[in-house]
Amino acid sequence: MAEKMALAKAINESLRRALESDPKVLIMGEDVGKLGGVFRVTDGLQKDFGESRVIDTPLAESGIVGTAVGLALRGYRPVVEIQFDGFVFPAYDQIVTQLAKMHARSLGKVKMPVVVRIPYGGGIGAVEHHSESPESLFAHVAGLKVVSPSNASDAYWMMQQAIQSDDPVIFFEPKRRYWDKDEVNTEAIPGPLHKARVVREGTDLTLAAYGPMVKLCQEAADAAAEEGKSLEVLDLRSVSPLDFDSVQASVEKTRRLVVVHEAPVFFGSGAEIAARITERCFYHLEAPVLRVGGYHAPYPPARLEEEYLPNLDRVLDAVDRSLAY
Amino acid sequence: MAEKMALAKAINESLRRALESDPKVLIMGEDVGKLGGVFRVTDGLQKDFGESRVIDTPLAESGIVGTAVGLALRGYRPVVEIQFDGFVFPAYDQIVTQLAKMHARSLGKVKMPVVVRIPYGGGIGAVEHHSESPESLFAHVAGLKVVSPSNASDAYWMMQQAIQSDDPVIFFEPKRRYWDKDEVNTEAIPGPLHKARVVREGTDLTLAAYGPMVKLCQEAADAAAEEGKSLEVLDLRSVSPLDFDSVQASVEKTRRLVVVHEAPVFFGSGAEIAARITERCFYHLEAPVLRVGGYHAPYPPARLEEEYLPNLDRVLDAVDRSLAY
Amino acid sequence: MTVESTAARTPRRSAGSKAGTTGTKRTTRTTAKKDAGAKGTEPQLVQLLTPEGERVKNAEFDKYVAGVTPEELRGLYRDMVLTRRFDAEATSLQRQGELGLWASLLGQEAAQIGSGRALRDDDYVFPTYREHGVAWCRGVDPTNLLGMFRGVNNGGWDPGGNNFHLYTIVIGSQTLHATGYAMGVAKDGADSAVIAYFGDGASSQGDVAESFTFSAVYNAPVVFFCQNNQWAISEPTEKQSRVPIYQRAQGFGFPGVRVDGNDVLGCLAVTRWALERARSGEGPTLVEAFTYRMGAHTTSDDPTRYRGDEERQAWEAKDPILRLRRYLEASHHADEGFFAELETESEALGRRVREAVRAMPDPDHFAIFENVYADGHALVDEERAQFAAYQASFADEGGN
Amino acid sequence: MTVESTAARTPRRSAGSKAGTTGTKRTTRTTAKKDAGAKGTEPQLVQLLTPEGERVKNAEFDKYVAGVTPEELRGLYRDMVLTRRFDAEATSLQRQGELGLWASLLGQEAAQIGSGRALRDDDYVFPTYREHGVAWCRGVDPTNLLGMFRGVNNGGWDPGGNNFHLYTIVIGSQTLHATGYAMGVAKDGADSAVIAYFGDGASSQGDVAESFTFSAVYNAPVVFFCQNNQWAISEPTEKQSRVPIYQRAQGFGFPGVRVDGNDVLGCLAVTRWALERARSGEGPTLVEAFTYRMGAHTTSDDPTRYRGDEERQAWEAKDPILRLRRYLEASHHADEGFFAELETESEALGRRVREAVRAMPDPDHFAIFENVYADGHALVDEERAQFAAYQASFADEGGN
Ligand SMILES: Cc1ncc(C[n+]2csc(CCOP(=O)(O)OP(=O)(O)O)c2C)c(N)n1
Ligand SMILES: Cc1ncc(C[n+]2csc(CCOP(=O)(O)OP(=O)(O)O)c2C)c(N)n1
Ligand SMILES: [Mg+2]
Ligand SMILES: [Mg+2]
């Protein structure tokens, strides 16, 4: 059924559906029970599925992921919540050395169907550690898949697919879009989890983004259209694997690419995209791939975040610079 | 005095000099005392400087880095050892959320002169977690500096400079080069810590590397020379900051660039170098920047590491591919 | 520290039910004494002042407060009242949009003032994000605490200025900093002590356990001061431990004690004892201050979703300020004039803080690039320059 | 697991001195009993069989081994002997260059066989990298254990095949996996138990503390089996804890017990007790098996740099195999024929392992790209294809 719902609610519905359809699915995390999570993404789930399926954990992220690994070994499919981006690091060791490598270590004997949900990104005026975009730190690690939806419908379906995946998926939820509403068709059969989507067609330049920055790129394309520039907007949806084929196809057409993400530019996903697309499209590119992202600085205090984050002006500035080549 | 010494010994001598010249310098880590570290890099230091300066710690990496942060706040300059690359992850939270950000968090009031020594990289036939190259995971994080020497002389001097730095430095030691000997002049006044060095001049293509791969690139340049190709070899020495000016200068001359590192290519330092150099040298490059590095797979068991690691053939293959443009 | 959804809230639930407690059977092998339960009256609870304001004798700890003068008692009272006033002002400033968030210490004044006033100037404090009362004791200007909650900085005071470290948001990590600092104090041969604050929830973090290990092994002069305020956001203490938290210490080889965290005298005495241990080379101590978070976790939190009013009411009867007032009145250590004057002072503080916050300027945009490194970094320089050029391009556009 | 420098080694030191122990003062507040010291005779040590092979009575634990038949005793002996033989073979295979590294269990046979034989088939084991004896009890083919040490894989058996998880090298992490697995067992309503092995060094890791917290809070059916072999590479246990490790448990709300880790009967009994607790819903238990690493940490280690021979000699007198042999002989539970036959079997095992290892093929190069993901990954496919093309280019070059 198609229904308009907020992105947070779409994830909530998707988790509910997973809990209903597979008794092995578990929800774990800090405050995910009665409180329903600090963003209410797990609202009502403990009430309906009980404390043994929706588990308030001790305040210890390594413990959350480490026990999820054990539960997966026992045949469960845990969906764990990290309360905020900046609090995933105590779990980083379990994610990188255990969760990511267990399947390979066992020569394929065991599977790790664990989803790590991380509300991420800035723009909500929060205090330190609550606004970061650490996706690069996971994409570099083989064994993990990294995805980020940009809208409610994708959030619903990508969560379904992430839970069904036998691989660990780091699921980055664009927290500043939690309240954005979109049509969600809970019956549509979705495309593959790791495939990019052309959000808007264009001919002069490609804007590639994922998660919270897709909306910004759409706005930039609108603004550029008013100036007679036709921008194509790609929603990458997945950071690992990255759908280079779709980016390549778009760039072969537009011959220009700007990548936008909130994470710092230095060693960010824009670097990987620029490097690979330049290799694939060397003779097509009219301009170097440009990147718009965070600076090489700690995420700043809230009153500076607008200067730090990519915004319409900075995206359009990069578009102009690219078109000037 | 110039003296030929192994890279491990050069670090040992550098640590000794730091302990002698500054009473605030401390050495901390697992087995750094009587054993002198599993690679003997701290050999003899506890004997000569005592247990209060050279500290065997409990087996807990987060604790090692976290207490080093506290010691730095008290005015000490801890040099901590992580026994192997794969064991840095339990300390990742303290490194990323505390060590890297304390200076900025305090608006510059406190300094974090902490060196984190990490023997890294493969090629020594070790078991899992003992051969990884995680430098990308630190370079992406603002507040950290990341360096890696390629030879004994640099190891000596870069360690001196890292200890003198008021910023946290992640010091990646190329463990497979620990026993390689080189001339070390302990009186020479070195250039800046974060400046790349032209190891060999050339005109046809630039090979850029750091740490263990510099030697390989020199060998590749030798081999290419026999075929009449003149390769310039750059030892980057520092991954954050990255000396893009030197790379740019070289590429403006050679018009071709191949970056070599052991770390996986995907989201590796080659991506950042390729992206930025392509932007800076768009009209100079005759070929896309090519990357030679690890695959997107966990570091394999020892009997496969030769296939996994960049080697002479793979570097020369990339050189040929670049020259073929 | 948590920023929460502004999405629709579910209706208030009246039942104060807790997430189910695991049925723990008693075992024979532990030598640890088992307490009656985390929320009941505690046999081991050190208490010098009852909720009714009566001074009860304690053979072990009385000596640590024997010299406390009436003036000092009034001082403790004043500290608590002013801290509460400041805290209330911050909460309302958040409501008014002047702050993005506030983490109230309401109910924890005795734990913070009692422990904070036990410290010497040369001692060093590692707080969480809720130690406004301790900051007050250290002489940190309350306004400075508000910077991070307003979003103008991530910590607005010089930690070395008052030996009061910056607020730490990543739960538990400061306990390791405190331990390292204390190792440094010991190396220096100083007799200062270090105190690390953390919460009941934090007790589950691996970092806290590692700080126990390091401090025990190096015999570091550190006091671990756990304010067990019964809740970690929505999770009751039973989700963190099935035995009282103070017992955690003994398995690491140092003593733990539980004190009534709403009894300022008790907190003062027990902290003094623990600090004295630290100074005299006896190493670490764990103090569990049994108290209650009377407000929401932060201004973003809605406690009605997970706890009932009865619990709060029960704890209101144990209010830390009320009980000291009762004692001061009954013992005639303070008169009406004192209370009236304090009321005036309190209002003045509120006003001063309000005005100071409203006048607090937004940071300069270039602050993003400041202090990322102490010794500079080429990329930061490059990005700062690009940013400057970009900003200048708007200025160029003039009226656009 | 440690690969060490092949650099010059310093001369053997004869003094068995330890890294300085912190002068720990006794405190009054802990309820924990203090033991005589980590290396002395332990008052709390559960011991059923003395080093001299005498069976001593133990009111609490005798019942767990009351039914052990002479045949079972011979079985335990056989397990220990064969495990030691296998271990020795692996050490010499490393010397011969057939293995890159070996982590010997020499001296820890009783701890591993005693605990391993206490398990039921449906129980699940989470080992470190040294549990060759436990693997033996689980029926994992010894040859399979050698794959990772030879460098042909990172774990060469199916964990689910024998309910024996892969070796874990990152110290302590498996304790959380065990806890999660045990939480799953409880959810399934099964009465299986889970056992997590770790070392004295590992007890310092935050992950181990978190596993104690999680298992206690969820009352998970898990036994934490710590082999305190006195050393974490070069660091003596005092660098990890200033009180005996078994005491760690009580602060988390579950029992801890120290057993003579060189007494196979004691280990069997105590583990059975702990497993029974797990099965009957009493939650976690910590067992500290007090034993000794008689060899080097791994074949890369040189223990002469940090410990003396006297210590080893003292522990040799407590050899786990010797004491059971004495008991078997004195009680006439085994005759010369048994020992002779075992000797033959032992040699055969050595031979079989030797041959199997030498015949172990190197992995296919494409194995690098296998099993990175269960559901595939576009980049892995791409890199595999590039690798294939690159490999093929050599084939093309023919005689080059
Ligand atoms: C590592 C980490 N995980 C999660 C959070 C989110 N968080 C902030 S406060 C809090 C609860 C803390 O509870 P407690 O330690 O009892 O302190 P209290 O807030 O009650 O003072 C949580 C989960 C965090 N700040 N850091
Ligand atoms: C997280 C981590 N840090 C460091 C190491 C290196 N290392 C391997 S074994 C070891 C000592 C382990 O001591 P213990 O836990 O007592 O076990 P034992 O080796 O004595 O059986 C160390 C430091 C590691 N494997 N993992
Ligand atoms: Mg709390
Ligand atoms: Mg050990």
Other beta carbons within 10 angstroms of residue C314's beta carbon come to 12
C-beta atoms of D362 and B303 within 8 A? yes
Closest among D122, D121, D117 to D78, alpha carbons compared: D117
Rounded to the nearest angstrom, the minimum Cα separation between B196 and chain A is 18
Helix (H) or strand (E) holding D355, with range, is helix D336-358
Q: What region does B31 belong to: left with phi over 0, alpha with psi -120 to 50, or beta?
A: left
Handedness of CA A37, A43, A44, A45 (dihedral sign): negative
B232-268 tens-digit pLDDT: 999 999 999 999 999 999 999 999 999 999 999 999 9
Q: What is the pTM of this model?
A: 0.95
Rounded to the nearest angstrom, the minimum Cα separation between B3 and chain A is 38
Q: What is the mean pLDDT of residues A114-139?
A: 98
Catalytic residue (one of B103, B129, B130, B261)? B130
C-beta atoms of A140 and B139 within 8 A? no
Cβ–Cβ contact C364 with B under 8 A: no
Do β-strands D231-232 and D222-228 pair in parallel, antiparallel, or remain unpaired? unpaired
Other beta carbons within 10 angstroms of residue D96's beta carbon come to 11
The CA-atom distances, in angstroms, between C203 and each of A88, C45, C219, D175, D247 are: 18, 19, 20, 18, 18
Q: Which of A93, A139, A289 sits opposite B267 (nearest CB)?
A: A139
Contacts of A271 in chain B (CB under 8 A): 267, 271-272, 274-276
Count each helix (H run) and each strand (E run) in chain B, helices first. Answer: 12, 14
What pLDDT, on the 0 to 100 scale, is given for residue C17? 34
CA B292 to centroid of ligand 1, rounded, Å: 43
Give dist(CA C49, CA C68) in Å, integer. Answer: 14
Confidence of residue C398 (pLDDT cuts 50, 70, 90): low
Q: pLDDT over 70 for what percent of chain C?
A: 88
C-beta atoms of B307 and D232 within 8 A? no
What pLDDT, on the 0 to 100 scale, is given for residue C26? 31
Strand intervals (E) in chain B = 2-6, 25-29, 54-56, 77-81, 115-120, 145-147, 169-174, 181-185, 197-200, 205-209, 231-235, 238-240, 257-264, 290-294
Beta-bridge partner residues of C199: C227
Structure tokens at D180: 């999660």
Spell C73-110 as b/e; 16+ CB within 10 A means b: bbebbbbbbbbbbbbbbbbebbeeebbbbbbbbbbbbb
Write the DSSP symbol of residue B94.
I
User: What are the catalytic residues of A?
Assistant: 130
pLDDT of B287 over the 90 cut: yes
What pLDDT, on the 0 to 100 scale, is given for residue B2? 86
What pLDDT, on the 0 to 100 scale, is given for residue D395? 77
Q: What is the ipTM of this complex?
A: 0.96
Question: Which alpha helices (DSSP H) does C140-238 contain, by range?
Answer: 142-150, 159-162, 173-188, 206-217
The radius of gyration computed from the CA coordinates of chain B, to the nearest angstrom, equals 19
* Chain B neighbors (3+ CB pairs < 8 Å): A, C, D
Closest among B178, B79, B97, B175 to B133, alpha carbons compared: B175
B215-236 tens-digit pLDDT: 999 999 999 999 999 999 999 9
Other beta carbons within 10 angstroms of residue A198's beta carbon come to 14
pLDDT of C28 over the 50 cut: no
C-beta atoms of C27 and D255 within 8 A? yes
Strand intervals (E) in chain D = 124-126, 194-199, 222-228, 231-232, 235-236, 256-260, 285-290
Q: Is C64 a catalytic residue?
A: no
Other beta carbons within 10 angstroms of residue C55's beta carbon come to 14
Q: Is D293 a catalytic residue?
A: yes
Spell A282-318 as b/e; 16+ CB within 10 A means b: eebbebbbbbbbbbbbbbbbbbbbebbbbbeebbbbb
What pLDDT, on the 0 to 100 scale, is given for residue D308? 92
Give dist(CA C324, CA C346) in Å, integer. Answer: 17
Confidence of residue C30 (pLDDT cuts 50, 70, 90): very low
Are D151 and D168 in contact by the 8 Å Cβ rule? The answer is: no
CA C131 to centroid of ligand 3, rounded, Å: 12
Q: Report the Cα–Cα distance between both ends of chain D, in Å, rounded.
A: 40
Give dist(CA D41, CA C279) in Å, integer. Answer: 33
For C310, what's the count of Cα atoms within 13 Å in the CB-facing half-sphere? 6
Confidence of residue C29 (pLDDT cuts 50, 70, 90): very low
The CA-atom distances, in angstroms, between B259 and each of A277, B137, B216, B238, C328 are: 16, 18, 12, 14, 75
> DSSP per residue over D152-217, as a string?
S-S--S-HHHHTBPPP--STTHHHHHHHHHHHHHHHHT----EEEEEETGGGGSHHHHHHHHHHHH
Are D74 and D338 in contact by the 8 Å Cβ rule? The answer is: yes
- D220 C-beta closer than 6 A to ligand 2: no
Residues, beta carbon < 5 Å, ion ligand 4: D 199-200, 229, 232
The CA-atom distances, in angstroms, between B22 and each of B75, B160, C184, C341, D186 are: 11, 11, 15, 54, 56
B104-113 tens-digit pLDDT: 999 999 999 9
D38-73 tens-digit pLDDT: 334 455 899 999 999 999 999 999 999 999 999 999
More confident call, C394 vs C388: C388
Mean pLDDT of chain C: 90
**Which distant-in-sequence residues (6+ apart) come within 8 Å of B186 by Cβ?**
B1, B2, B3, B13, B17, B156
C277-321 tens-digit pLDDT: 999 999 999 999 999 999 999 999 999 999 999 999 999 999 999
B18-52 tens-digit pLDDT: 999 999 999 999 999 999 999 999 999 999 999 99
Rounded to the nearest angstrom, the minimum Cα separation between D236 and chain A is 26
C-beta atoms of A289 and B279 within 8 A? yes
Closest among B131, C330, B233, C61 to D151, alpha carbons compared: B131
Are A116 and A95 in contact by the 8 Å Cβ rule? The answer is: yes
Q: Measuring from atom 6 of ligand 2, which residue has the nearest CA?
A: D1
Write the DSSP symbol of residue C49.
B
Catalytic residue (one of D306, D307, D323, D327)? D306
Place of tokens 């209330």: C88
Give dist(CA C51, CA C59) in Å, integer. Answer: 20
pLDDT of C42 over the 90 cut: no
Average pLDDT by stretches of 10, chain D with 400 residues: 34 31 34 38 82 97 97 98 98 98 98 98 98 98 97 96 98 98 98 98 98 98 98 98 98 98 98 98 98 98 96 96 98 97 98 97 97 98 96 70
Structure tokens at D331: 């009680």
Structure tokens at D102: 């070996």
Catalytic residue (one of C124, C129, C167, C306)? C306
Cβ–Cβ contact A242 with D under 8 A: yes
Write the DSSP symbol of residue C233.
T
Mean pLDDT of chain B: 98
What pLDDT, on the 0 to 100 scale, is given for residue D397? 59
